[in-house]
Amino acid sequence: MLQPPHSSLQIAAVPAQRAAARDRDQDAPWHTEAVCRRDEAGLFFAPSKEPTAARLSREEAAKRVCARCPVMVECREHALLQPEPYGVWGGLTAAERRVVLARRRRREMELKKTPRPGRIAAAG
């Protein structure tokens, strides 16, 4: 992302290519309004070997920050389109984003299978 939100502290925690992608997006307009750009930097990415209870608590705290962020929708779409494999983005954890992406893929497949009215008329 821009490096959203979760700035330099997290860059070290993600693969180099992800950090490069974030750097490329750094100037995206929505990024400048990210609430997490200014504070709460440690909430968005897991430290290594984080216990489950601590992770759940941290993720909920990050989501509360996202809930008051004016660019949550833009951030979420960015994280889904990249896709961003780590951290909380746009109020969603990595696991939640995988579910959203799977639903989108399933919906797209269903739409492809559904005959369009124009095709039916032409065929008939």
Nearest approach, Cβ of 53 to ligand SF4 (angstroms)? 22
The answer to whether 62 touches 88, Cβ cutoff 8 Å, is: yes
Residue 35 sits in the site that holds ligand SF4 (CB under 6 A):
yes
Which span (21-29, 45-53, 86-94, 116-124) binds ligand SF4, by CB under 6 A?
Answer: 86-94
For residue 45, give every residue at least 6 positions away whose Cβ sits within 8 Å of its Cβ, in sequence order, or none: 6, 9, 10, 13, 14, 86, 87, 88
Kindly tell me which residue out of 22, 89, 93, 97 binds ligand SF4, with binding defined by CB under 6 A.
89
Give the CA dihedral 82, 19, 98, 71, nearest 10 degrees.
-70
Which residues are at the interface with ligand SF4 (CB under 6 A)?
Answer: 4-5, 34-36, 44, 65-66, 69, 71-72, 75, 88-91
